[in-house]
Structure 1
Amino acid sequence: MIEVDEVEVTAGDVTLLSPVSVRAPRGAALVVRGRNGAGKSTLLRVLAGARQPSSGTVRIAGAAVAPRDRLFRRRVAVMIGLPPMASDLTVFDHVLLVATTWLDDPRAAAELARRVIAELGLTALGQRFPHELSSGQTQLFGIALVLARPFEVLILDEPEQRLDPEHLEAVIRVLRARCDEGATVVVATHSPALEDGLADHTLWLDAA
Structure 2
Amino acid sequence: MTAGTAFQELVADGVTASVDGVSMLPETSLTVRPGENVVITGPNGAGKTTFLRILTGNMLPTAGTITLDGTRVDERDRTIRRVIAPLIGPIAGYRDLTVGDHLILVDQTWGGDRAGAAERIIAILERLDIYDFRDRYLSQLSSGQRQLVELSIVLLRPSALLVLDEPEQRLDTGRRELLSDVLRERVDAASSVVWVCHDQELAERTATRIERFPQHS
TM-score by length of 1: 0.95
Q: Secondary structure in 2 aligned to 1:88?
A: coil
- Matched letter for residue 199 of structure 1: A
Post-superposition Cα deviations, 1:140-170, rounded to whole Å, max 9, x if no partner, equal 1111111111101111001011100100111
Deviation of 1:203 after TM superposition, in Å, equals 0.9
Unpaired stretches in structure 1, ≥5 consecutive residues:
none
Alignment check: 8 A CA contact 1:103 1:149 kept: no
Post-superposition Cα deviations, 1:101-151, rounded to whole Å, max 9, x if no partner, equal 113411233222111111110011111111111111011111111111110
Q: Secondary structure in 2 aligned to 1:136?
A: helix
Aligned counterpart for 1:156 among listed residues 131, 144, 164: 164
The question of 1:200 aligning with 2:208 is answered yes
Aligned counterpart for 2:90 among listed residues 82, 94, 102: 82
Residues of 1 paired with 2:184 and 2:115: CA distance? 25
Aligned counterpart for 1:41 among listed residues 41, 49, 59: 49
Over the residues paired in the alignment, what is the CA RMSD in angstroms?
1.3
Range with bigger deviation, 189-198 or 164-173: 189-198
- Matched letter for residue 103 of structure 1: G
Structure 1 pair 179/61, CA: closer, same or farther in 2 (3 Å)?
A: farther
Deviation of 1:54 after TM superposition, in Å, equals 1.0
The question of 1:99 aligning with 2:107 is answered yes
Range with bigger deviation, 102-111 or 35-44: 102-111
- Matched letter for residue 143 of structure 1: L
- Matched letter for residue 185 of structure 2: A
Deviation of 1:63 after TM superposition, in Å, equals 1.9
- Matched letter for residue 48 of structure 1: T
Partner of residue 72, structure 2: 64
Unpaired stretches in structure 2, ≥5 consecutive residues:
1-8
Residues of 1 paired with 2:143 and 2:118: CA distance? 25
Number of equivalences? 208
Q: 1:87-166 counterparts in 2 under 5 A?
A: 87-166=95-174
Aligned counterpart for 1:28 among listed residues 14, 36, 45: 36
Deviation of 1:196 after TM superposition, in Å, equals 1.9
Alignment check: 8 A CA contact 2:58 2:74 kept: no
Residues of 2 paired with 1:64 and 1:11: CA distance? 22
Moved over 3 A (4+): none
Residues of 1 paired with 2:127 and 2:112: CA distance? 22
Residues of 1 paired with 2:39 and 2:142: CA distance? 27
Residues of 2 paired with 1:59 and 1:203: CA distance? 19
Q: Secondary structure in 1 aligned to 2:16?
A: strand
The question of 1:168 aligning with 2:196 is answered no
Aligned counterpart for 2:62 among listed residues 46, 54, 60: 54
Alignment check: 8 A CA contact 1:120 1:140 kept: yes
The question of 1:11 aligning with 2:24 is answered no
Alignment check: 8 A CA contact 1:99 1:110 kept: no
Q: Secondary structure in 2 aligned to 1:32?
A: strand
Partner of residue 10, structure 2: 2
Residues of 1 paired with 2:134 and 2:112: CA distance? 22
Q: Secondary structure in 2 aligned to 1:107?
A: helix
